[in-house]
């Protein structure tokens, strides 16, 4: 099921649509980074290379999870 949210990114109100699992991961990542969801989305918005913000968020989450799963060298 899609979760639609209105957020503030770069001081502009916009809406995103994310599947519930992606939204939960977004909240978890924001918490881990000590940021609000709006702060994290603003960061993603500033770095995105795709037109659609919801897609950029999904890509960010996927890359974040993949980085977590990658073994750290030297440990």
Give per-residue pLDDT as tens, 50-72: 999 999 999 999 999 999 998 87
15 pLDDT higher than 60: yes
Model pTM score: 0.85
Separation of first and last alpha carbons in the chain: 39
Could you give phi then psi for residue 53, rounded to 5 degrees? Answer: -65, -40
| Tokens linked to 40 | 């994290």
CA distance 71 to 2: 32
């Amino acid at each position: 099921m899609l979760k639609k949210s209105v957020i503030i990114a770069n001081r502009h109100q916009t809406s995103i649509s994310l599947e519930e699992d992606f939204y939960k991961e977004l909240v978890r990542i924001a918490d881990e980074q000590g940021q609000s969801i709006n702060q994290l989305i603003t960061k993603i918005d500033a770095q995105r290379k795709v037109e659609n913000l919801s897609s950029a968020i999904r890509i960010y989450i996927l890359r974040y999870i993949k980085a977590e799963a990658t073994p750290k060298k030297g440990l």
